[in-house]
Each structure stands twice: as C-alpha cells, then as structure tokens.
Chains A and B, each alone.
Chain A
Amino acid sequence: SQKIEQNSEALNIQEGKTATLTCNYTNYSPAYLQWYRQDPGRGPVFLLLIRENEKEKRKERLKVTFDTTLKQSLFHITASQPADSATYLCALSGRIDMRFGAGTRLTVKP
C-alpha cells in the first residue's frame, strides 16, 4: 500500500540554523510534491510545489528537492527563525489523488 513518511514527529533547532525535513514515500509515483505549513488550530497553508521532472525549487529562505529515484523530498529552511515554528506537511499527488504525510513539528528556539 502507499506510504508517506515524514522523518520524525518533532524537530528542534536553534535560531539561525538550517532546518531540514524529510519526506519519504513508497508504492507511489507522484507527478507533483507539495509542502504545506500548519499552525496550531489553523488550516494548512501552501508553501511550494515541485514537479517530478524538477530536482530543486527555491522560494526566499525555503528550498525543496525531489529525488524520484530515492523516493524522497527534502525541505530546507535556512536562517531559521522562531516564527518558522509550525508543523510542516508534505503532500504527493498523482493522477487520481493527493495524499499527505502526518507532518513534522518544527520548533526553532531563540
């Protein structure tokens, strides 16, 4: 069955460091991979989309990589700030649906 795993439930880092979150998948051939941010008690908010034929995409302090051979996406936040503290969800979409990982809760400490 299809499985999406995000590296850990929680990640704690120091302000100014780079946060790296992992999204691994099995039994799936996604055409697109998206990352969302979710704050407590709020709905997810779209951050970035990367296509299967793209290796990397950047937006301000965010960078996403997509390796269809390893079946993995890495999501980086450089120069992290306490305001980046949130849960980050990866979502894979193919022809017939979009599936989400359970999320990684990132805490950036000052």
Chain B
Amino acid sequence: NAGVTQTPKFQVLKTGQSMTLQCAQDMNHNSMYWYRQDPGMGLRLIYYSASEGTTDKGEVPNGYNVSRLNKREFSLRLESAAPSQTSVYFCASSEAWGWAGELFFGEGSRLTVL
C-alpha cells in the first residue's frame, strides 16, 4: 500500500510562477487536507475537502487554490508564487470527517520560491 503519495518532492520556483502540487491516496478515505509546515510554527491547515466535490478554507488559504478531482486526488495550486510560500507542504487523508480521526500524511513537498 502506497498510502498518501505527493508529487513533486522538491520544487524551486521564481516569484510569480505557478505550479500544482499533486496528492493521491489509495485508502478510500473521504477526507483530504493540505497543510504547510514552517520552522517553529507547526502544521497549518491551508484547505481541506470533507468529501468528493467539496472544499473549504483552512487557517491560511490566501494565495492557494485546490481541486478535489475525485475521491483519490486532491491538488493544491499556487497561481503566482511568493517567497512567503517557501515551505514544506503535506497532504493528508482520513477515513472519518469531524476531525476525530487520525490523519495519514504523505512525505511532503519541499517548495522554495526565489
């Protein structure tokens, strides 16, 4: 079982460029999430999707868009990258909705914006 797979693992962008981070899970989970992790700040929720066809903003959504393509896939798009978006991005999934279930995380995508 692959679990949660994120691509790419590393990316360097110039300010103003766009890119999409891809995430897929093979556990048939309903809920999927995008977090960013910065030193000393913990994981912060960008967007989440409680089920296929729905998405909602988290704590830090500005500058990002998401698409829940189907039950397996949840992508995160940066339309015009800024240096403040340099971070490690984690996709996660869970079986349950309501924040009661454990999260399964991918290995992360390390993004640098110059």
Q: Which residues of B are found within 8 Å of A91, using beta-carbon distances?
A: 43, 103
Q: Which residues of A are found within 8 Å of B44, using beta-carbon distances?
A: 100
Q: Which residues of B are found within 8 Å of A36, using beta-carbon distances?
A: 103
- CB 8 Å contact bits of A38-52 with B (1 = contact, 0 = none): 000111111001000
Docked complex Cα distance between A93 and B90 (Å):
18
Beta-carbon nearest neighbor of B106 in chain A? A43
A44: contacting residue among B45, B58, B90, CB under 8 A? B90
Q: Is the CB of B59 within 8 A of A44?
A: no
- Least CB distance from A103 to B in Å reads 7
Given contacts A43-B90, A102-B40, A103-B42, contact A93 B108 (CB under 8 A): no
Beta-carbon nearest neighbor of A93 in chain B? B99
Q: Is the CB of B58 within 8 A of A89?
A: no
In the assembled complex, B64 has its CB within 8 A of some CB on chain A: no
Docked complex Cα distance between A44 and B91 (Å):
11
Docked complex Cα distance between A94 and B8 (Å):
32
- Least CB distance from B16 to A in Å reads 28
Q: Is the CB of B103 within 8 A of A46?
A: yes
Q: Is the CB of B99 within 8 A of A94?
A: yes
Q: Which residues of B are found within 8 Å of A41, using beta-carbon distances?
A: 107-108
Docked complex Cα distance between A103 and B41 (Å):
9
B-to-A contact residues, CB < 8 Å = 4, 35, 40-45, 58-59, 90, 92, 98-100, 102-108
23 contacts between A and B (CB under 8 A): A9-B40, A31-B99, A34-B102, A41-B107, A41-B108, A42-B108, A43-B107, A43-B108, A44-B43, A46-B102, A46-B103, A49-B102, A91-B43, A93-B99, A95-B98, A95-B99, A96-B99, A98-B45, A98-B99, A98-B103, A100-B35, A102-B40, A102-B41
